[in-house]
């Protein structure tokens, strides 16, 4: 077996020739110097670039397909010219689809990313990026091809904010591949989203306003009697401005009435930084009432919001809570928005509000927040919860004595601990 056969290279042709044991090498006159040499088992082979009498292995087949190696030929030849002594091994990333497969797998294995972010990236790659860019050669990527295949078609189908997220994902994939030496150049270097559209991305309009909160509080009071878990999830988010993911995974061991603090571990936050929220007397009373209800119903587990299997509510299950409560009129994120807006209306400092939301802040601001602002955070939440008491929150948490005589419009900061009225029936942070 020593024959070299000239063919028009394609995957189908290679597999056809692999069945003929008299053929050892394949070459295509259209691509001088490129050879495929079959292994003895005929199921695999090695791509070579031949210069004179020197055979330089560059990749393996079928790991690198015919289309992929042909697309990467110009880069392979350039590498060989720059350094003839080094075999220019192909990266295997000749197409955008291969790049996305690699980056998607990399994201899936990244423990620093939340499950929600991984799922979002996986969906964007599978539903939009690969269907439009799968076979596009990396060497052909430029602003024109991206606009033609991705940006312009997608802007007619998805929101601009989602399209910007996909653009950022693709840009990050190229940057990472370049840093790791998997591609020779980043064809998206210097590109910006604004190069493709000048339309302004507007934030979603809030569907809950402050004037609607009295009616909402009445609804939550009724829901607390019938479905306390649903109401409690909404109340904790409204009271603290927390995200749904941060709230649904809360454990009782992270609630300390002795220290008057709710600790949210970094693994549960979007910013991947731990979050500490002061507990007001009102919320401490609400938590105690809620734990008593759980125990009366036979639940002694570790989660504030368990599902039937004893695990925290899943993302879908938590979303269904707000489908039931909001009836399509508002979502969980609207609670967070209305809290932030109301804090501004109450005169709460902007830095304190951003910190309560656990937004990523600049280095100087973060230092200020963590070293100087604990007292201000507590005062802000006490002011907010006292305002909420005036529209019905007090009827839910039941802490009427401790709050008597406090005016809704002139809330005063309290001490750093929850009301002493709770001490006689709150034994530990587990409320057991």
**Both 225 and 365 in a single domain?**
yes
Calpha distance 380→105 (Å, rounded): 43
Match 């720059």 to its residue by tokens. 82
Are 160 and 303 within one domain? Answer: no
Q: What is the DSSP string of 407-423?
A: -GGG-----SS--GGGT
**Model-level pTM?**
0.61
Question: Is-contact 174 133, C-beta < 8 A?
Answer: no
Beta strands in 111-215, from DSSP E residues, in sequence order: none
Q: Is residue 7 part of a domain?
A: yes
pLDDT at position 24: 93
Domain boundary among 82, 116, 145: 82
**Does residue 428 sit within a domain?**
no
| Alpha-carbon distances, residue 405 vs 60, 188, 280, 282, 351 (angstroms) | 80, 63, 17, 15, 30
Asked if the structure places residue 88 within a domain, the reply is no
Evaluate whether 277 touches 398 at the Cβ level (below 8 Å).
Answer: no
- pLDDT given at position 60: 82
Are 163 and 238 in the same domain?
A: no
Ranges under pLDDT 50 in the chain: 364, 401-432
The CATH number of the domain holding residue 32 is 3.30.160
Confidence (pLDDT) at 388:
96
In a domain, 257, yes or no: yes
Q: Is residue 429 part of a domain?
A: no
393 and 304 share a domain?
Answer: yes
- 71 found inside a domain: yes
The answer on 391 and 319 residing in a single domain is yes
Residue 90 lies in a domain: no
pLDDT value for 343: 95
Residue 361: which CATH number?
1.10.443.10
Last residue of a domain, one of 195, 226, 246: 195
Looking at the structure, tell me whether residues 58 and 102 fall in a common domain. Answer: no
Asked if residue 47 and residue 171 are part of one domain, the reply reads no
- pLDDT for 413 equals 39
pLDDT in the model for residue 406: 40
Range(s) of the domain holding residue 51: 3-82
Report the pLDDT value the prediction gives residue 203, as an integer from 0 to 100.
63
Answer yes or no: do 275 and 363 share one domain. Answer: yes
> Are 398 and 262 in the same domain?
yes
> For position 208, what pLDDT does the model report?
83
Is the same domain home to 8 and 63?
Answer: yes
Strands 255-256 and 54-61: unpaired
Is residue 324 in a domain? yes
Per the structure block, which two tokens stand in for 143? 């602003």
- Beta strands of 39-152 (E only): which ranges? 45-51, 54-61
**Number of separate helices (H) and strands (E) present in the chain:** 18, 8
216 shares a domain with 131? no
**What is the domain count for the chain?**
3
291 and 387 part of one domain: yes
């Amino acid at each position: 077996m020593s024959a070299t056969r000239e063919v028009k290279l394609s995957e189908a042709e290679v597999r056809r020739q692999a069945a003929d044991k008299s053929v050892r090498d394949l070459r295509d006159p259209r691509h001088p110097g490129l050879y495929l040499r079959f292994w003895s088992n005929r199921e695999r082979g090695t791509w070579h670039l031949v210069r004179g009498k020197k055979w330089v292995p560059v990749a393996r087949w079928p790991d690198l397909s015919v289309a992929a190696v042909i697309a990467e030929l110009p880069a392979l030849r350039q590498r060989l010219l720059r350094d003839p002594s080094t075999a220019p091994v192909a990266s295997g990333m000749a197409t955008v689809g291969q790049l996305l497969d690699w980056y998607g797998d990399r994201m899936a294995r990244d423990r620093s990313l939340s499950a929600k972010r991984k799922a979002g990236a996986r969906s964007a790659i599978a539903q939009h990026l690969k269907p439009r860019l799968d076979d596009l050669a990396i060497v052909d990527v430029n602003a024109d091809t991206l606009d033609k295949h991705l940006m312009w078609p997608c802007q007619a189908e998805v929101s601009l904010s989602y399209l910007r997220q996909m653009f950022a994902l693709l840009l990050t994939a190229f940057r990472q591949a370049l840093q790791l030496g998997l591609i020779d150049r980043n064809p998206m270097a210097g590109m910006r989203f604004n190069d493709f559209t000048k339309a302004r991305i507007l934030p979603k309009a809030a569907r809950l306003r402050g004037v609607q909160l009295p009616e909402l509080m009445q609804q939550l009071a009724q829901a607390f009697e019938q479905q306390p878990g649903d109401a409690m999830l909404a109340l904790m988010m409204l009271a603290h401005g927390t995200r749904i993911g941060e709230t649904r995974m809360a454990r009782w061991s992270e609630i300390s009435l002795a220290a008057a603090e709710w600790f949210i571990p970094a693994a549960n936050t979007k910013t991947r930084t731990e979050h500490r929220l002061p507990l007001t007397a009102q919320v401490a009373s609400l938590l105690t009432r809620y734990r008593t209800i759980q125990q009366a119903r036979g639940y002694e587990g570790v989660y504030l919001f368990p599902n039937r299997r004893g695990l925290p509510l899943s993302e879908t299950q938590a979303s269904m809570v707000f489908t039931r409560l909001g009836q399509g009129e508002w979502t969980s994120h609207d609670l967070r928005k209305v809290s932030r807006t109301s804090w501004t209306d109450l005169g709460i400092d902007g830095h304190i509000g951003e910190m309560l939301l656990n937004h990523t802040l600049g280095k100087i601001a973060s230092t200020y927040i963590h070293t100087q602002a604990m007292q201000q955070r507590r005062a802000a939440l006490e002011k907010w919860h006292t305002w909420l008491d005036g529209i019905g929150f007090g009827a839910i948490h039941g802490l009427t004595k401790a709050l008597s005589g406090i005016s809704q419009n002139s809330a005063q900061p309290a001490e750093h601990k929850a009301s002493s009225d709770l001490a006689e029936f709150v034994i530990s942070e587990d409320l057991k």
